[in-house]
Amino acid sequence: MDLSNENVIHIKKGKQEYLQFRKLLEYKDIITHAYSLGIDKNFRTAKVGGANLEKEKYDKAIEDYKELCESIGCDYKNLVKTNQRHTDNVKIIENKIEKDKPDFNKEEYNNTDGLITNKKNLILSTTNADCILLMFFDPIKKVIANVHSGWRGTIQRISVKTVEKMKKEFDCKPEDIICCICPSIRKCHFEVENDVKSLFEEEFKDLGKENLDKIIEKKIPNKKWNIDTVLINQIILENEGLKKENIIDSKICSVCNSDIIHSYRAEKQGYGLNTALVLLK
């Protein structure tokens, strides 16, 4: 299977498979990035407990990170990962906490779903299994961000809050910022009950009826609705000042491609995680 399209390239290098965005590859002297593929990969780094099974899972995740980082020419020890909790909190990273190993499971990143830096060689990492991951890059100010935006994060507009923080802290201009949308659950599979549908209707009523009609679709004959969270992020980021051509979607559904991309809705209990990595050289 090859997931390449007009926006992404599916790369196979030895045992590693990952996606890279064609737009970001235009800046390969400045930035490196990847979105992991392969259902045998699992980037879950829960704290190691007493059980040998948990240690095995943790060790496997570390090895997967190491191999993926080597494939894109960077050192996994420079990884900084969020402790994602479906918040709208975005943290600026100035340096690593650990010197000789990745920054995983650090209290400093609790309740954090987005990372921003202008420092070189810091690998910003997020994970997903259907949620949206967003990679931001300002090639003028040389600032990157990596953001986890599930449906709760989307309702909290974490993508817009990331741009606001890039503007405030690094003097970024929205028209310069590139945003790449990684594989995630799409409207075809994001089916919700009335309670969640009502939350989206209330939060995004400012987008107007025409847009809401595109975002929320009645699932007939079920009493359910399908919601396009990717489209929401595209609209609110464009409203924030990003150029439409700089909001680049992978156009890949994690559920439709669950044979190669981890998906909570497809795998259920025991689901695995994919990772998005981005760093400045």
> Whole domain around residue 153: which residue ranges?
8-185+250-280
| CATH number where 70 lies | 3.60.140.10
pLDDT 10s digits, 170-179: 999 999 999 9
What percent of the chain has a predicted confidence (pLDDT) above 90? 90
Residue 94 falls inside a structural domain: yes
pLDDT 10s digits, 129-175: 999 999 999 999 999 999 999 999 999 999 999 999 999 999 999 99
Residue 2 falls inside a structural domain: no
Q: Which amino acid is at 246?
A: N
Residue 1 falls inside a structural domain: no
Residue 38 falls inside a structural domain: yes
Residue 153 falls inside a structural domain: yes
Q: What is the mean pLDDT of the chain?
A: 95
Q: Could you tell me how far CA 43 lies from the centroid of its own chain?
A: 13
pLDDT band with cut points at 50, 70 and 90 for residue 211: very high
Q: What is the CA radius of gyration of the chain?
A: 18
Residue 72 falls inside a structural domain: yes
Residue 50 falls inside a structural domain: yes
Q: How many domains does the chain have?
A: 1
> Is there a contact between 168 and 148 (Cβ–Cβ < 8 Å)?
no
Token reading at 92: 């600026």
Residue 229 falls inside a structural domain: no
Q: Which residue has the higher pLDDT, 24 or 1?
A: 24
Q: Which residue has the higher pLDDT, 201 or 45?
A: 201
pLDDT band with cut points at 50, 70 and 90 for residue 15: confident
Predicted confidence (pLDDT) at residue 48 exceeds the cutoff of 80? no
pLDDT of residue 115: 98
State mean pLDDT over 72-93: 97
Predicted confidence (pLDDT) at residue 56 exceeds the cutoff of 90? no
Before 221, cis peptide (omega within 30)? Answer: yes
pLDDT of residue 213: 96
State mean pLDDT over 9-22: 96
* Helix pair 229-240, 158-170: axis angle to 10 deg: 30
Cβ–Cβ contacts within 10 Å for residue 67, how many?
A: 16
pLDDT of residue 49: 61
- Cα dihedral 27, 28, 31, 32 sign: positive
